[in-house]
Amino acid sequence: MTTDSPGLPAQDDPVGAVLLVDDDPDMLKLMSAWLRGAGFSIQTAGSGSDALSKIAISRPDIVVTDLFMEGMDGMALLKEIHAGNPLLPVIMLSGQAQIPDAVQATHLGTSAFLTKPIAKERLIAEVSAQVSAVLDRKRRHGTFGAGIVFRSGIMQELLEQAEMVAQSDITVFISGETGTGKEVLARAIHDASPRAAHAFIGVNCGAIPEQLLESELFGHEKGAFTGANNRHEGLFMAANDGTMFLDEIGDMPLGLQVKMLRVLQDLQVRPVGATRSVAVNTRIISATHNKLEELVRDGEFREDLYYRLNVVPLHMPGLAERREDIPLLLEYFLGLHATRHNARRKRFDAEALEYLIAAGWPGNVRQLANTVELCATLTKGGVIAVAMAQRALREKPGRIQPLKDARDAFERRYLISVMRVANGNVATAARIAGRNRTEFYKLLGIHGIEVASFRSDATPDEPE
Amino acid sequence: MSDKIRVSIDPDLEDLIPGFLNNRRQDVVQIRALLQAGDYAKIRLLGHSMKGAGGGYGFDPITDYGDEIEEAALKQDAATIEAFVSRLEDYLARVEPVFV
């Protein structure tokens, strides 16, 4: 591993941050000298695994990697990189100049394929072109989702993907737990799309009874049903030329799913009681906190509709997956509270901050917003103490366990599972676990697991 | 054959050149040791690295010799490897970088 520069996070570095990956130190030095001379910020990695660690920490704008490396080769690295961030450009270098490599690399999404020995001008030109595109996107990104507060890599990647899909009419499906801000993301996509001047209409499919939902979405003719005294246009028509956000789509009744399919397939809606369909031009963004695949498997959601909706899946991470954003979000909501109530801006003390960063947040950003509101309202002075934060969260928060506790809990659960599979036979269990019998007995002893309890129907208690 | 071989090198690389050439001299020693041990896989890797880096630093013959050594290692052709290692050794003894 070689580190030639601190490798600032990409968003702080307008010249572009390049990660060079090669197991030949002389190649790393050569490319570093060239690219640093051209004004880029350089980080280097001597192996694929080293590169993955660096990418996770410093988020370069581009990766230049050798194909032929010991251990993880360039192609495997490319797959790993794009599994985490499909937008990160990767330039592949090969000393072998084999056409199949180039073809495969292209299929896997390399931005360029250069053959060694590489020419200085060619490398600089390729890196400059790719970095320039990335920086352009980041500059534009300054306006995309301006109201979304984050600094985590996971959110940055999500917003970059969302911004890219915003420009097209492609159908987007947003998954994520309740309270993560799926509608905020949907609105950001709409605002950055060519439809921004038209309506954005959000509907919670789980909150409206089936009969009403049908008429709300598709409209109805006068007299279509009892109480339909007037013709109703329906939300799809109201969102014509704009965007329709269907939240909790997993709760949509099966009967309506057929009608939804028609909207997506034929771009037509038929109001309740109407004999003819009407053309609509509405972009659909749907979302759910449910696992839609499971609903499909259970026959509660149409598979054909699932595939129609899930063209571009975006996942809104839970707050626990983006804890580095919590201090920023707390600041944001404290500022909002102060503005809304025309009051002095309050702050959390260090202990409260630490407590809130480590809290479980099952209700995600929505819960955090409510917590801040409550704390700020009930605190008389300017500083919010940990006791208030604890009181505001009310339910016992799921704290992050220390590593040792988490590891111990996992080990105990694992041992119990293996013993169950082995029907209490320690020799078999030890073999499954890849340990010798003595070691395995020792582990059982450490966790106080009684072998005898697996030899009858009795089983030990599950760990907390 | 003791004439110097003058090679024009990018001045930006001046600090790196002594280390690079020294590493290649070590490659000569290492490849001969690997030949004795019959470790052609490792020889191939060294040839591959030479091929990739030589021309970039401005020493095209190092790329050419690296290519030959890599190919010969694939065929486990000891005689060819030794022949090109000798040529590399001779080149390294005579090469004189000029930074312009």
- SS3 string, B40-95, reads HHHHHHHHHHHHHHHHHHCCHHHHHHHHHHHHHHHCCCHHHHHHHHHHHHHHHHHE
In Å, what is the CA distance from A96 to each residue of A31, B45, B65?
18, 12, 14
Which of the two residues, A21 and A232, has the higher pLDDT score? A21
In Å, what is the CA distance from A167 to each residue of A72, A305, A308, A311?
36, 23, 19, 15
Query: How far apart are the C-alpha atoms of A409 and A429, rounded to whole Å?
Result: 18
**A34–B12: do the CB atoms touch at under 8 Å?**
yes
Mean pLDDT, chain A, rounded, equals 83
Query: Tokens at residue A218, please?
Result: 């598709």
Among the ranges given (A12-26, A279-293, A384-398, B52-66), the one the predictor scored with the smallest mean pLDDT: A384-398
Give the pLDDT mean for A453-461: 51
**B16–A29: do the CB atoms touch at under 8 Å?**
yes
For the entire predicted model, the pTM comes to: 0.51
Query: Tokens at residue A173, please?
Result: 């499906």
Task: Kindly identify which residue of chain B lies nearest to residue A94, measuring between CA atoms.
Answer: B52
Indicate the burial class of A101 (C-beta count within 10 angstroms; 0-12, 13-18, 19 or more). buried
Q: Nearest-CA distance from A144 to chain B in Å? A: 40
Q: Give contacts of B16 with chain A, Cβ < 8 Å.
A: 26, 29-30, 33
Q: Residue A189: phi, psi to the nearest 5?
A: -65, -45
* B16, B45, B60 ranked by CB distance to A30: nearest: B16
Among the ranges given (A8-12, A249-253, A379-383, A442-446), the one the predictor scored with the smallest mean pLDDT: A8-12
Query: How far apart are the C-alpha atoms of B81 and A234, rounded to whole Å?
Result: 79
* A24, A93, A120 ranked by CB distance to B49: nearest: A24
ipTM of the complex: 0.90
Query: How far apart are the C-alpha atoms of A69 and A71, rounded to whole Å?
Result: 6
Task: Kindly identify which residue of chain B lies nearest to residue A34, measuring between CA atoms.
Answer: B12
CB pairs under 8 A between A and B: 54
**B16–A37: do the CB atoms touch at under 8 Å?**
no
Helix (H) or strand (E) holding A115: strand A112-115
* B20, B45, B52 ranked by CB distance to A116: nearest: B52
Facing residues of A64 across strands?
A: A20, A91
Report the pLDDT value the prediction gives residue A3, as an integer from 0 to 100: 35
CA angle A204, A206, A210 (to 5 degrees): 105
Query: How far apart are the C-alpha atoms of A8 and A328, rounded to whole Å?
Result: 20
Give the pLDDT mean for A297-320: 93
Overall residue count recorded for chain A in this entry: 464
Q: Give contacts of A33 with chain B, Cβ < 8 Å.
A: 12-13, 16
Among the ranges given (A52-66, A101-115, A436-450, B42-56), the one the predictor scored with the smallest mean pLDDT: A101-115
Any A CB within 8 A of B71 CB: no
Task: Kindly identify which residue of chain B lies nearest to residue A29, measuring between CA atoms.
Answer: B16
Any B CB within 8 A of A66 CB: yes
How many beta carbons lie within 10 A of that of residue A112, not counting itself?
21
> Please, are residues B70 and B48 in contact by the beta-carbon 8 Å criterion?
yes
> Please, are residues A428 and A422 in contact by the beta-carbon 8 Å criterion?
yes
- Above 90 in pLDDT, residue A301? yes
Residue A354: band (very low, low, confident or very high) from pLDDT cuts 50, 70, 90: confident
- Above 50 in pLDDT, residue A250? yes
Facing residues of A200 across strands?
A: A243
- Above 50 in pLDDT, residue B33? yes
Query: How far apart are the C-alpha atoms of B87 and B80, rounded to whole Å?
Result: 11
* B13, B53, B60 ranked by CB distance to A33: nearest: B13
Cis peptide before A117 (omega within 30 of 0): yes
Any A CB within 8 A of B80 CB: no
Q: Which of A22, A116, A120, A123 to mutate to test the interface with B (most CBs of B within 10 A)?
A: A116
Which of the two residues, A139 and B27, has the higher pLDDT score? B27
> Please, are residues A29 and A41 in contact by the beta-carbon 8 Å criterion?
no
Any B CB within 8 A of A71 CB: no
Residue A5: band (very low, low, confident or very high) from pLDDT cuts 50, 70, 90: very low
| Chain A (87-126) residues lying within 8 Å, Cβ to Cβ, of chain B | 93, 95-96, 116-120
Any A CB within 8 A of B59 CB: no
- % of chain A exceeding 70 in pLDDT: 87
Q: Give contacts of A29 with chain B, Cβ < 8 Å.
A: 16, 19-20
Cα Rg of chain B (Å, integer)? 13
Per-residue pLDDT of A128-172, as tens digits, reads 998 888 777 666 655 677 778 888 888 988 998 898 899 888 899
In Å, what is the CA distance from A224 to each residue of A190, A219, A227, A327, A392?
33, 10, 8, 53, 49
**B57–A118: do the CB atoms touch at under 8 Å?**
no
